[in-house]
């Protein structure tokens, strides 16, 4: 009951005030046990309005950020989703709940293994791979792409993997200058960009400051 009360408080006091009104998103936040994906030493902070450390300098995003991103992406069943940076696997579970077709790439093998085990335990189907997202074959196309680490500068790499009408979430910049944007592919290799919030995420590991960087 304590977890259920904390979950309810998170939704009512953190998520709704951020204008997250999507029934699908609010339902998955209620149904998917976020605490199951949180490292043991941080279980008591599962529903707190903070980033939670995962090791390797990686973190779970704050709940309100996750919820806002999911609402903005407006994911539908059957859409093909790519997640760059699996982390704990919680956001992966949320994406799988919405689409049912998720590929997630994680650089750290131990995080990938842990996330895959937890997702399987809850009967979520997602393809978890260890490697470099920038090694994607150019023919790989997705309806939705979620990049969970910030980019030091904008790159068109992920945009080129969007289907027409596809949506990309990414954070560009660092510190106070970082902005989270929703990029929509509108056809003819054209894209519409919308800043959806100002937030800083941990940079993609080893991402250099010039184009041609790797994850």
- Residue 95 belongs to domain with CATH number: 3.40.50.150
- Tell me, yes or no, whether 208 lies in a domain: no
Question: Could you give the angle at the alpha carbon of 192 between the alpha carbons of 60 and 144, nearest 5°?
Answer: 45
* The pLDDT of residue 208: 44
* The pLDDT of residue 154: 85
- Tell me, yes or no, whether 205 lies in a domain: no
**Containing structural domain, residue 29:** 2-197
- What Rg do the C-alpha atoms of the chain give, in angstroms? 16
Spatial CA neighbour of 63 closest among 15, 31, 95, 96: 15
pLDDT band at 213 (very low <50, low <70, confident <90, very high): very low
Number of domains within the chain = 1
Give the pLDDT confidence of 164-202 residue by residue, as tens digits: 999 999 999 877 778 999 999 998 899 999 999 888 788
Give the pLDDT confidence of 22-38 residue by residue, as tens digits: 999 999 999 999 999 99
- In terms of pLDDT, which residue wins out, 41 or 151? 41
Residue whose pair of structure tokens reads 């490292």 in the numeric block:
39
Mean pLDDT score across all residues of the chain: 92
Query: Are 205 and 186 spatial neighbours (Cβ–Cβ below 8 Å)?
Result: no
pTM over 0.95: no
- Tell me, yes or no, whether 209 lies in a domain: no
């Amino acid at each position: 009951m304590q977890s259920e009360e904390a979950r309810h408080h998170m939704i009512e006091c953190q998520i709704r005030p951020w204008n997250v009104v999507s029934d699908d998103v609010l339902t998955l936040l209620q149904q998917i046990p976020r605490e199951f994906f949180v490292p043991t030493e941080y279980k008591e902070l599962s529903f707190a309005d903070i980033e939670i450390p995962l090791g390797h300098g990686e973190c779970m995003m704050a709940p309100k950020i996750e919820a806002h991103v999911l609402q903005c992406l407006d994911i539908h069943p059957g859409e093909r989703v790519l997640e760059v940076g699996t982390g704990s696997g919680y956001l992966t579970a949320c994406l799988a709940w919405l689409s049912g077709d998720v590929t997630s790439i994680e650089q750290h093998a131990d995080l990938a293994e842990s996330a895959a085990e937890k997702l399987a335990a809850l009967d979520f189907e997602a393809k978890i791979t260890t490697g470099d997202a920038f090694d994607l074959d150019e023919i790989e196309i997705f309806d939705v792409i979620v990049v969970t680490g910030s980019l030091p500068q904008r790159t068109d790499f992920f945009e080129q993997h969007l289907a027409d009408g596809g949506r990309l979430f990414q954070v560009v910049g660092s510190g106070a200058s970082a902005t989270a944007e929703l990029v929509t592919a509108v056809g003819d290799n054209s894209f519409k960009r919308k800043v959806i919030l100002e937030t800083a995420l941990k940079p993609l590991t080893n991402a250099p400051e010039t184009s041609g960087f790797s994850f």
